[in-house]
Structure 1
Amino acid sequence: MKCILFCQDNYAFGILEPIKTYLIENGHDCLWYINKKIITDFPFNNEQNTTSITTLKEYQSDAIFVPGNEVPHYLRGLKVQIFHGLAGEKKGHFRIRHYFDLYLTQGPYFTKEFNKSKSIYKNFHVIETGWPKLDIYAADKLLYHEEKNELLVKFSAKKIILYAPTFSPKLTSAPFLINQIKLLSKNNDYLILLKFHPLMDENWLDVYKKLADETSNIIFETEKNIIKFLLIADILVSDTSSVIYEFLLLNKPVITFQNISENILWENSLNYSELVELVEKNLREDLYSKERKFIFDNYHPYNDGKSAKRMVESVLNYIKVNSVPEKRKISILRKLKINSIFKK
């Protein structure tokens, strides 16, 4: 099977890497498509890759794995949506854009919603597989344990706090928590890691970079894949971001501000001035440990590290039964949008 790993944003690398590994280990061929704006971030330069849509057309793929929302309709191959997060409450998460033949969902909550749309549109299939980015949780949950201990010793700290807000201007807490992060850093028992979304407003990145430069126990992280920081942190501070669910699945406490989810099963505050108190409380008591079972069961019940395997096998089985679709029927407006995005 010939597969395209389709990357419009750099968060896609960590999502697609387990799929790439499984494909190669099982004798399949894969080609990375990298948007030119993120090519300098691409970590697998020794593997087949291109920034050219023309090259993708010539490649004649059997399947295209896409963590993003759009893919050129005119490329050959089964177009597979594998998602870029777990935040179903975000606007557009369940929107059907009609570019995809197959939706591979993370857990029952997502499967149920997309099956509702499937019954209406009848032009795609839905299979629940789990999410490949989290395969590392099964195999290498302690991968960075030694690095964490080294950090704690180096900074004479007892706990690592990860601040990872969303980039969305209407949802991000970044403009409101800068002074609270400063106050939090006055407790030398804490090492604070700042990890921002690739699309975060540059002005706020500069503000937080300056804060980290001026504060000995704050680190502004630039590594693209957030998984390491999720694994080594003791508590997460965020707002309305998919990373919340990734962290909850590690069975650790989360604090959010102004979260818009209908099912808030963690500490959420409407008051931006409570950060210091909430961190102390949740590190001490972890009041929401029992509620996290709902997240495990509904958002991602797969802890075997085999979601990438299930995804690839689902695609193989689909193609075996239905063959590779030669084209995708979409509206003129959708075609125009794709042509605009990919400069056809």
Structure 2
Amino acid sequence: MRTILFCQNNYAFGILEPIKEVLIEKDYPYTWFITDKLVDGFPFTSDDYTTEISDLKNFKSDAIFVPGNEVPYYLRGLKVQVFHGLAGEKKGHFRIRHYFDLYLTQGPYFTRGFDKFKAKYKNFEVIETGWPKLDIYGKDKLLYQAEKKKLLNEHKANTIVLYAPTFSPSLTSAPHLIEEIKRLSSNSDYLILIKFHPLMDNKWIEAYKELANSYSNIKFQDEKNIIKFLLMADLMISDTSSVIYEFLLLDKPVITFKNISKKIHWEDSDDYGALINLVERNLNEDPFAEQRKTIFNEFHPYNDGKSALRMVEAVEDYIEKNGVPEKRKLSFLRRRKIHSIFGK
């Protein structure tokens, strides 16, 4: 099964790497597609990769795994949506753009949502597999434990607090929490790690880097792999970011500010000034521990570390039953949009 791993943003690397490992185990040929802006930070340079759509045409793939919103309809291969997050409340998560033949969902909440559209449009399939980015939770949850211990010892701290806001200007807490993060750092028991989305406004990136340079127990993290920091942290602070669900699935407390979800199973507040009290309350009492079970059951009830394997096997089964599509039928406007992004 010849496979394309299709990346438009660097967060796709961590989602697709577990799929890559399955492809290697099965001895399937694969290539990465990355955009020009991703070349300098591409972590798999020993793999076959390209920035040219023409190379993908010549590759003649059987399957294309996509954790983004678009993929060229004219490429040969089953076009598979594997998603780039767990925030179903965000605008566009359940939007059907008609570019995909197969949606591989993370859990029952997402499966129900896309099954409704499947019944409506009748031109794609939905299969629940779990999400490959979280396979590490089932395989090696303690991978960074030694590094965490070393960090805490170096900073003479007891607890790692992770601040990971969204980049969206209308939803991000970054402008509102910078002074509160500074106040929180006055407690030397806390080591505060700042991890921003790749698309965060550079203004706030620089402001928080300056903050980290001024306080010894605040560290700004440039490393791309947020999973590392999710595994190391004891508590997360955020807003409306899909990463909060990834953290909740580790059964650890989350504090958000002005989250837009209609079903909140963690501490959410409209009062940025309450940060210090909320951190203390959630670390000491963990009042939402029972509610977190809903996130596990609905969003990602898989802890066996085999979601990537299920995805590859789902694609194998689909192709065996239906064959490999040469291209996907789209409306004129959809085709024109793809041409504007990727060319013809």
- Give the TM-score band, short-chain normalised: over 0.9
User: What does residue 278 of structure 1 align with?
Assistant: 278
Q: Which residue of 2 aligns with 1:99?
A: 99
In the alignment, the residues of structure 2 paired with residue 219 and residue 41 of structure 1 have an alpha-carbon distance, to the nearest angstrom, of: 21
Residue of structure 1 in register with 2:156 after alignment: 156
Aligned length: 344
Return the letter of the residue paired with 1:127: I
SS at 2:165 equivalent: coil
Amino acid at match of 2:204: W
Which amino acid is 2:2 matched to? K
* Percent of residue pairs bearing the same amino acid type: 68
Name segments (4+ residues, structure 1) moved above 3 Å: none
Aligned amino acid, residue 312 of structure 1: V
What does the per-residue CA deviation read over 1:118-163, in whole Å, with 9 as the maximum and x for residues that have no partner? 1111110000000000000011100000000000000000100000
1: CA distance between counterparts of 2:51 and 2:155? Answer: 41
Q: Which ranges in structure 2 are unaligned for 5 or more consecutive residues?
A: none
User: In the alignment, is residue 298 of structure 1 matched against residue 298 of structure 2?
Assistant: yes
TM-score by length of 1: 0.99
Give the structure 2 partner of residue 221 of structure 1: 221
SS at match of 1:103: strand
What's the counterpart of residue 239 of structure 1? 239
Deviation of the 1:225 alpha carbon: 1.3
Coordinate RMSD, CA, aligned: 0.6
In the TM superposition, 1:31-70 aligns within 5 A as 31-70=31-70
Find the aligned partners of 1:26 and 1:331 in 2 and give their Cα distance.
36
Distance 2:330 2:205 in 1: 38
- Write out aligned runs for 1:191-210 (5 A): 191-210=191-210
Distance in 1 separating the partners of 2:215 and 2:44: 34
Q: Is 1:133 paired with 2:133?
A: yes
Q: Matched residues in 2 for 1:71 and 1:218: separation?
A: 39
Query: For each residue in 1:227-263, what CA deviation from the matched residue of structure 2 results, as whole angstroms up to 9, or x when unmatched?
Result: 0000000000000011000000000000000001111
Looking at structure 2, the residues matched to 205 and 105 of structure 1 have their Cα atoms a distance apart, in angstroms, of 32
CA shift, 1:91, in A, is 0.2
Shift of 1:343: 3.2
> What is the CA–CA distance in structure 2 between the aligned matches of 1:56 and 1:91, rounded to whole Å?
30
Q: TM-score, normalised by structure 2?
A: 0.99
Unaligned runs of 5+ in 1: none
Q: Which residue of 2 aligns with 1:314?
A: 314
CA distance in 2, matches of 1:324, 1:181: 52
Distance in 1 of aligned mates of 2:34 and 2:224? 15
SS of the equivalent of 2:126 reads strand
Q: 1:90-117: per-residue Cα shift (whole Å, max 9, x none)? A: 0000000000000000000000000000
SS at match of 1:41: coil
